Chain A
């Protein structure tokens, strides 16, 4: 746990320029790392979605072969102590690990962005109370926040999503607040209000689209750490509970057999690693495209 994306905490540029569509596409072709990463993520997502169709064995089926069989033709990634097929379990694990990361980031970004929008747009007391709350939340070490929530809510899948998601809320709130503050001052917002548009219409039709780029960048970069954090909780036994196959839980099971069956801890770890690298590369790329300040570096 705790690969807190320190780079993410840097305030996003308040200058928001909507990138030209074609410009973005051209850049993606020029950024092979981001293109490959996107392909990898799509492949993983497809693997997760199609797992029931392409899995070699039922992931819960014991004795599909000898227990702790090393990787080979019958079992590409070997088998675990109950003779379950590791490849099938990894495929099904993706159906848990990837969505948890997505849901956790969705939680942080939606709650955090709404908070940040309200604070930046309305100002006044909403802003001062909100900023205080954000600072207090940032005062807690992120893992502490997650463990605290688990301690109160108990272990289990939805609780993991909340535990990891809450830690991201103040980070989104702070950046969205800052961006909203500068967007609010634009002439088109004033013109829009002068034309008689309501507060909510202005907020969601005109302010929100302009604060989206930093939200997208932060969401991508935060997803990497959300996946790391959820798998860490699984590893600690505080996340998804066995027999559900989840990458972190599989790693923690594999740890016991490190000496005799190192593949048990190798393959799930590789999956987490590749996923997070790919997400980080896409995030770096998006930051380059959406954050003009960093262009050309």
Chain B
């Protein structure tokens, strides 16, 4: 098990290396001079430009620049935002709590919804309940997230006025969490259903039935254990996607957060922020997947030999 974990941990290295390289190259690949972007159209003498270039490290050789970038990145130093001049780590730090709240709310709602629909469909396959749950799942998968958001805002925010459409706090978190979580509900419901159905004919299920356990208990106690795999995977995915999922949700709800920050940074060519967010997202995603693998080991003893 230790070797497995070690091997798994080592595998994160090339991915993080690739992410670092992408983040590094992005400032070098874009057309135009980064110094011009930094000046944002303000006139500047050649001397000022040279200073800026030195500050960005652009006057050194490429390998040197790369080493410099990595060393600084490890220390959490991503330079200053082209837009505001604030340190990038500070800019991101301000947005992070809002995004984590959203991810938390989304995970709770998404996993609950997906489990309920999936178990209902798996308990009563090929019935009306199954059909209803799977239709709901199909709708969840096929709705554009931003459109779900707009419809919810229109219905609950503007028409019924049950919830505020802007602002912070728990009530304002409800609709964004629904949107963020709806991404998971459909997929999860389908996966939970099929993993329950998959093990229907396994020996251990037959044993449980032979013991005389009622069908409901067989499914909930024994078959559901198998269904925990997609749940864990989806939780890891959502945790890792808190920036990606936030991109849409935060933009529509005009919330603060790293997703909105990323879109804004790309639109305004604020590359130091983009660089830092690439690294942050990828690292979060990679480690979320890593923890998912660890949880697998505890869920299924057989994985230990994998």
Taking CB as reference atom, which chain B residue is nearest A297? B197
Query: Taking the nearest CB of chain B, how far is it from the CB of A176, in angstroms?
Result: 22
Contact A141 B241 (CB under 8 A): yes
A148 adjacent to B285 (CB under 8 Å)? no
Q: Is the CB of A262 within 8 A of B29?
A: no
**Alpha-carbon separation in the docked complex, A280 to B139 (Å):** 10
Residues of A within 8 A of B129 (CB): none
Contact A1 B248 (CB under 8 A): yes
The residue in chain A whose Cβ has the minimal distance to the Cβ of B126 is A297
Q: Is the CB of A3 within 8 A of B146?
A: no
Pick the residue among A148, A237, A277 that contacts B142 (CB under 8 A). A277
Taking CB atoms, residues of chain B closer than 8 Å to A12 are none
CA separation between A210 and B154, bound complex, in Å?
49
Which residues of the partner chain B approach A136 to less than 8 Å between Cβ atoms? Answer: 14-15, 18
A60 within 8 A of B: no
Q: Which of A150, A248, A265 has the most CB of B within 10 A?
A: A265
Tell whether A235 pairs with B146 under 8 Å between CB atoms, given A135-B11, A151-B266, A258-B153. yes
Taking the complex as formed, is A173 at the interface, i.e. its CB lies under 8 A from any CB of chain B?
A: no
Return the chain A residue nearest B281 by Cβ. A144
Contacting pair B191 A2 (CB below 8 A): no
Q: Does A147 contact B (CB under 8 A)?
A: yes
Contact B183 A3 (CB under 8 A): yes
- Whole-angstrom CA separation of A141 from B281 in the bound complex: 8
Whether the pair A232, B142 counts as a contact (CB closer than 8 A) is no
CB <8 Å contact, B285 and A132: no
Residues of B with C-beta under 8 A to A43? none
B150 touches A5 (CB 8 A): no
Residues of B within 8 A of A2 (CB): 145, 183, 241, 244-245, 247-248
Hey, which chain A residues are within 8 Å of B14, CB to CB? 132, 136
Q: A7-B187, A152-B29, A297-B197 are in contact. Are A269 and B139 (CB under 8 A)?
A: no
**Chain B contacts for A143, CB-based, 8 A:** 241, 244, 247
Nearest to B241 among chain A residues (CB) is: A141
| Complex Cα gap A142–B286 (Å) | 13
CB B72 to nearest CB in A, in angstroms, measures: 20
Write out the residue numbers on chain B whose beta carbons fall within 8 Å of the beta carbon of A231. 144
Chain A residues numbered 106-153 whose CB sits less than 8 Å from any CB in chain B: 132, 135-136, 139-144, 147-148, 150-152
Whether the pair A228, B144 counts as a contact (CB closer than 8 A) is yes
Q: For A152, what are the chain B residues with a Cβ–Cβ distance below 8 Å?
A: 26, 29-30
Tell me whether A232 and B145 are in contact (CB under 8 A).
Answer: yes
Interface code B172-194, partner A: CB below 8 Å = 1, 0 otherwise?
00000000000100111011000
By a CB distance below 8 angstroms, the chain B residues around A1 are 145, 244, 247-248
Nearest A-chain residue to B274, judged by Cβ: A151
Distance between B291 CB and nearest chain A CB, rounded to angstroms: 14
Q: A152-B26, A272-B144, A272-B147 are in contact. Are A232 and B248 (CB under 8 A)?
A: yes
Interface size on A, residues (CB 8 A): 47
**How far is B186's CA from A136's CA once the two chains are assembled, in angstroms?**
27
A243 to B263: give the CA distance in the assembly, Å.
Answer: 21
Does B15 contact A147, Cβ atoms closer than 8 Å? no
Docked complex Cα distance between A256 and B289 (Å): 38
Tell me the chain B residues, 260-289 only, with Cβ under 8 Å from chain A. 262-263, 266-267, 271, 274, 278, 281-282, 285-286, 289
The one of A7, A141, A259 that contacts B282, using a Cβ cutoff of 8 Å: A141
In the docked arrangement, what's the CA distance between A252 and B11, Å?
A: 40
A215 within 8 A of B: no
Residues of A close to B187: CB separation below 8 A: 3-7
68-106 of chain A: CB within 8 A of chain B: none
* Residue interface bits B150-166, CB-to-A below 8 A is 1, else 0: 11011000100000000
| Cβ–Cβ < 8 Å partners of B285 in chain A | 139-141, 144
Q: How far is the CA of A92 from the CA of B256 in the complex (A)?
A: 34
Q: How far, in angstroms, from A151 to B276 measured CA to CA in the complex?
A: 13
**Binary contact track A231-272/B, C-beta < 8 Å → 1, others 0:** 110011110000000001001101100110010010001001
Residues on A facing B (Cβ under 8 Å): 1-7, 132, 135-136, 139-144, 147-148, 150-152, 154, 224, 228, 231-232, 235-238, 248, 251-252, 254-255, 258-259, 262, 265, 269, 272-273, 276-277, 280-281, 297
A-B interface, 10 closest residue pairs, ranked by CB to CB distance from nearest: A269-B147, A139-B15, A143-B244, A276-B142, A6-B187, A277-B142, A141-B244, A136-B18, A151-B266, A235-B146
| Known pairs A139-B289, A273-B143 / 18 extra A-B pairs, C-beta < 8 Å | A3-B141, A3-B145, A6-B191, A6-B230, A140-B19, A140-B282, A140-B285, A141-B285, A150-B266, A151-B266, A152-B26, A152-B29, A152-B30, A232-B144, A232-B248, A235-B248, A236-B263, A277-B142
- Enumerate 15 A-B pairs (CB-CB under 8 Å) in ascending A order: A3-B144, A6-B187, A6-B188, A139-B19, A147-B262, A151-B271, A224-B141, A224-B142, A237-B263, A237-B267, A251-B147, A258-B150, A259-B158, A277-B142, A280-B142
